[in-house]
Structures are given as C-alpha cells and as structure tokens.
Amino acid sequence: GENVEQHPSTLSVQEGDSAVIKCTYSDSASNYFPWYKQELGKRPQLIIDIRSNVGEKKDQRIAVTLNKTAKHFSLHITETQPEDSAVYFCAASTYSTLTFGKGTMLLVSP
Amino acid sequence: DGGITQSPKYLFRKEGQNVTLSCEQNLNHDAMYWYRQDPGQGLRLIYYSQIVNDFQKGDIAEGYSVSREKKESFPLTVTSAQKNPTAFYLCASAPGTRDYGYTFGSGTRLTVV
C-alpha cells in the first residue's frame, strides 16, 4: 500500500520567516495531494491541495509544489504568523482513501 | 448549514464494554471514513464506506465494527476486543472515493476508565 513520510516532525520559526514541510510517497499511482491544518483539539481542515497534472499551486501565503518523478511534495508558508501555529498533515490519494503523513508541529514565535 | 457531526465529544468506556460513536453528514457525500489519531502517529484508517450497505476495512480494523444503513450515517462501534481504545476518533466524508479532499467532523475523544 501507499506510504507517506513527512519531515520534519517539529518546526520552530520566528514570525515573518518562511516554513517548509516536505513529504514523500511511495505509490506512483497517487494523483491527489492535500494538506491539512489541525489546531489543538480541533478537526483537521483542508488548506490547499494539488493534483498530479500541476507542478505548483499558490493561495496567498501558502504554496504547494509537486515533483512526481521524485515522488515528493512540499508545503511552503511565507511570512509566518503566530496563528499559523498548528499541526500540518500531508496526504496522498490512493484509489479509495487518503494516506496521511505523521504530521509536523509548526510553532511560530512572535 | 452543511457539515459533518460527531457525537459525543467525550466518551468514557469501562473495561469490557462496547461503545458506539456517531457520525452524521448532510453534505450528500457518498464516501465516509473513520480514522484514529494518536500522538505522533498521524491519522490511521479504521474503516471506510463508498456506498450504503457496503464498507471496507482499513489498516487498523481489528476490534472495531461499522454499519452504513443510510447515506448520511456511519457509526463506529469500539468493541471490547480493541485492547487499546483510548484515542481521538475522527469521522470524515468526501463526494467520492478517488482524488477528493475530506471534510472532517470535530472528533470524539474516547478514554478507557
């Protein structure tokens, strides 16, 4: 089955810095790659996604890049703010389900 | 207001008890999922359903059971066979089963007492 590896597990940045979270996947048949943000005690929420026919997608301060040849995709957050502090999960779509990475705890210090 | 509702928010189970977690959606989504979340483990798939009266096991189905009698509802039963049930349980739904993002419920935190 699909295996998704996510790094780093924890990331601490200063407000205004950029943050990058990286994921790799194993199944070349995966075609859809969403990213979720989960604040403490709350539900994961979809923040951005990318499909395999696109190499990069941006939404304001958030961008995702995909390299299908290398089977990796990344989340980029620019001009980080304290409210960006949360756990971020990447996922890969394989046939009927999403396989999630183990998450990255992002801490943004004022 | 469309969404996916899980209840209860907190649940306590005694040893040897079966408990049922509720998940209801009014998004007219075909697919529904149950995930378990443990610290440092990410989200692990328990069961999923693509259509009414049909469901498939996920990666950690042992000790759990589900039913899908209505499109809107996908309850999860944690049986006494599940030896380590303390976790945060998330229900999700999606319009279909291939290449769709999920909408998650707010979760149920189950604790064994």
DSSP B96-109: SSSS---EE---EE
The pLDDT value given to residue A38: 96
| Pair of tokens at residue B88 | 């945060």
Tokens of A102: 């183990």
- CB contacts under 8 A, B 45-104 vs A, are 45, 48, 50, 56, 58-59, 90, 97-104
CB contact under 8 A, B42 and A100: yes
**pLDDT classification of B39: cutoffs 50, 70, 90:** confident
Smallest CA–CA separation between B48 and chain A, in Å? 8
What is the per-residue pLDDT across A69-97, written as a single tens digit (0 to 9) for each?
A: 999 999 999 999 999 999 999 999 977 89
List of chain A residues whose C-beta atoms are within 8 Å of the C-beta of residue B103: 46
DSSP A95: T
**Structure confidence at residue B70 (pLDDT):** 97
Query: What parts of chain A have a pLDDT lower than 70?
Result: none
Q: Tokens 């207001």, residue? A: B1
State the virtual CA torsion across A40, A42, A43, A46 in degrees, nearest 10.
Answer: -60
Residues of B in contact with A102 (CB under 8 A): 40-42
